[in-house]
Chains A and B, each alone.
Chain A
Amino acid sequence: MFWRIVAAEIKKNIKQFFFSVRTLFWTLALPLGNGLYLYFLYLPFAAGSVLLEFNASWYTLDLVGFTLIGQLLYTFFTMMLLSGNTFAREREQGTLESLLLSPANRVAVILGGALASAFNYLWFLLGILLSWVAFLGVKIIINDFLALFASIVLSYLSMVTLGMCLAAFFVHSRRGIMYATMLQEPVMFFSGLVFPLQAMPRALLSFSYVIPLTFGLLSFRLSLLGGAFLADVAVPLVVLALMTLIFLGLAAWLIGYVERNAKKKATLTQF
C-alpha cells in the first residue's frame, strides 16, 4: 500500500509538471539563464577560472563549469525547497482536502512528490551536461567516475529528504512558499554557489555546513571539474549520507505533528 501511494504520487506529479514539450525546454533554459547570470558576475574581474581550496589542496576550476554546473545543482535544490509549493497548489485547487481525507500514508504522499523530481534531476543532468559540455566547451576533468556518481546520488538524496521536511511543514502553512523563497538567498550565499567557500568569513562557515547543497557543490565540482578521487571527496559524501538519514527521520515525524497542529488551528484549507 505504501509504495502504491508513492507510485501514484510520482505519476500524478510527473503528469502535472511535464505535460508539454515546452516545459521540458524551459526546465533546461532556466538554469542555463541563471548560470549565465552567475558567469556575468565574474566578467568585471576578467577571470577565466576559479581557485577552489579544499582539504589543504587547491583546484583550478573552469569558470564556465564552476558557474553553470553550480547553477544546475542549485536549481535542483530550489526545486526541493519549493516542493512544498505543490501542496500550496493543491490547497488553491481545493484538492488538499481530498488528499488528507484519504487514508493514504502522508509520508508516502510526500515521498512520492519528492521522488517525482528524480525525473527532473535526470533531465537536468543528461540535458544540461551534454548540451553545455558539447556547445559551451566546459572543461571537465573526471579521474574517478565512482566519485562523480556518488556525488550525484548523495546530493540528490540529501536534497530530496530536505524537500520532504519542508513539504511537510509548508503543506499546512499559507506562508510556506514565502518562507521557502526566503531560504533561497541564504542558501545561494552560504553554500558556495557564487564564490568558493574559502572566501567565506570564518564566523559564517557554520551556516554553510548545515546546508546539504554546500557539500553537494563541493563534491560535484571537484569530481567533475577538478579530477578529484573518491578519497578526496569522502568527507562531503559522508556528510551528505548522514544528512539524508537525519532529514528522512525528521520528515516522518514532522508530517504527523504539523497535520495535528493544523487541524487544531483550523488552517488546513485556508489559502
Chain B
Amino acid sequence: MGNANFAVEARQLSRDYVSSKRSYLIGKKTITVIKALDCIDFEIKDGELFGLLGPNGAGKTTTVKILCTLLEPTSGHAFVKGYDVVKDAAKVRKIVNMVAGGERMLYYRLTGRENLEYFAELYDVPKKEIASRVNSLLELVGLSERADDEVEKYSKGMKQRLQICRGLINDPEVLYLDEPTLGLDVNIAKDIRKFIREKIVNEQGKTVLLTTHYMYEAEELCDRVGFLNKGKLVAVGRSEELKRKMPSGFSMEVLVTRLTKEAIEGLRLLEPVKNVLTTAYEGETEDEKIDRLIINVDSERTAPEVLNYLSSMGCRVISVNIRGPTLEDLFMFYTEG
C-alpha cells in the first residue's frame, strides 16, 4: 500500500517495451528492448497541478498510462491515493480519469450527449445525477448547443472540449491531462488552460497531472514540474527552485545571423558565459538564416562583452533580450545539456 497522504506516487517505476522482428516471415528473430521508463520516483500532493515535461518519446504518456491502469510497469510501483495501480486497479479506476490530446477516446457515431451518458453509466454515476451533470459539463465547455450532434461532425476543438467533459464525468479525485491542447487554436488552448487552473484545480480542488511539451503552458499552470528525458526523471521541483539550480542566474536570448561553429565554440570559452544553447528561429530575413542563442551568464553586466565577441566573429546581432531563466531554458538544459 502506498502513502495515502500523496495523491499520486511512483516508486522506482520502470517500463520496457520489447519488440521482436522476424525477417522475411521465417528468418531469424531479433529482439529489441526499449527502456521507456527507468526507475522514476516522484509524488504529487492532493490538490497540486504537477507538470510532467519532456521531449517526444521521453516516457510521459507511458507514465500516464501506468497511472490510469492501462499499462503494467515492468518493475517498481505506482500508487493513487494509496492504492496500487496493478493490485488495486479496480479501486484506482473509480477515482481517476484521463483526457488525451488528439481525436481518440470518443464514439464518433454517438452524439456528444450520448457519449457522456454512456461513460456516466460505466463510471456508476448515480442515475438521478447523470442528466444534470452532463448538462452542466456541456455548458461549462460551451457545447450545449451541439450536444445532440454526432461527434464525427465536431471540429477538433469541440472534440477536445467533449473529451474534457468525459474526463470529468465521474468527478475524479485525480485527473490526468495528456497533452490536452495538442493541435488546438491559440484562443481555445488558452481557454482550456484557464479552465484547468481556475475550475478544475482552484475551485474543485482536484489533483492534476499534466503532460505537455509546450513550456509556456507548464510555466503558466504548474505548481511543480518534473523533467523526463529518455525515461529518466532528471529533475523535480517548483519551477523557481529548479531555475535557481541553473548554472547561472540570467539568460540572454540573442537572435543572430551568420553564426558559425567557431563563434559558438569561442563563446563557450568566454569567462562570463556558463552555458550556450542554440535553437532554430521560426522567422527568416530575406537573405539569411536566423539562429537563436540562449546564453546563460552570471550577470546582466556581462552582456556587452558577449555582444562584442559575436560582432568580432562576423555575426550580425538582430535582437537581445536579457531575462531570468524560463522553463524552456530549464527544459533544454536538462534534455540537451
Contacts and interface: CB of A to CB of B under 8 A. Distances in A.
Q: A–B direct touch, CB within 8 Å, in complex?
A: yes
B27 to A, nearest CB: 11
A207 interface: no
Interface residues of B, number: 4
Interface string B71-109: 000000000000000000000000000000000000010
A18 B152 contact: no
Interface in B91-129: 108
Contacts of A270: 152
Nearest to A94: B103
Contacts of B25: 18, 20-21, 24
A107 B25 CA distance: 30
Contacts of A24: 25
A20 B24 CA distance: 10
B31 interface: no
Nearest to B109: A271
Interface centre among B25, B26, B108, B152 (most CB of A within 10 A): B25
A18 B25 CA distance: 9
B62 to A, nearest CB: 22
Nearest to A18: B25
Contact size range, A: under 10
Contacts of A20: 25
Nearest to B25: A21
A21 B26 contact: yes
Contacts of B108: 271
A270 B152 CA distance: 7
Interface in B221-240: none
A21 B25 CA distance: 7
Nearest to A21: B25
Contacts of B26: 21
Contacts of A18: 25
Interface string A6-17: 000000000000
A26 to B, nearest CB: 14
B28 to A, nearest CB: 15
Contacts of A21: 25-26
A18 B152 CA distance: 32
A270 B238 CA distance: 45
Contacts of B152: 270-271
A20 B25 CA distance: 6
A270 B103 CA distance: 13
A20 B20 CA distance: 13
Contacts of A271: 108, 152
Interface in A8-65: 18, 20-21, 24
A18 B108 CA distance: 30
B183 to A, nearest CB: 13
Interface string B130-149: 00000000000000000000
B310 to A, nearest CB: 43
Interface string A234-271: 00000000000000000000000000000000000011
A271 B150 CA distance: 12
Interface in B1-60: 25-26
Nearest to B103: A94
B204 to A, nearest CB: 34
A24 B26 CA distance: 12
Nearest to A20: B25
A218 B25 CA distance: 36
A271 B108 CA distance: 9
A153 to B, nearest CB: 27
A271 B153 CA distance: 11
A88 to B, nearest CB: 14
Interface string B148-159: 000010000000
A154 B304 CA distance: 82
A103 B26 CA distance: 36
Nearest to B152: A270
A271 to B, nearest CB: 8
Nearest to A269: B152
Interface string A116-130: 000000000000000
Interface string A148-187: 0000000000000000000000000000000000000000
A33 to B, nearest CB: 23
B89 to A, nearest CB: 29
A271 B109 CA distance: 9
6 contacts: A18-B25, A20-B25, A21-B25, A21-B26, A24-B25, A270-B152
Interface of A: 18, 20-21, 24, 270-271
Given A21-B25, A21-B26, 6 more contacts: A18-B25, A20-B25, A24-B25, A270-B152, A271-B108, A271-B152
Which 8 pairs, one residue from A and one from B, show the smallest C-beta to C-beta distance? A270-B152, A21-B25, A21-B26, A20-B25, A18-B25, A271-B108, A271-B152, A24-B25
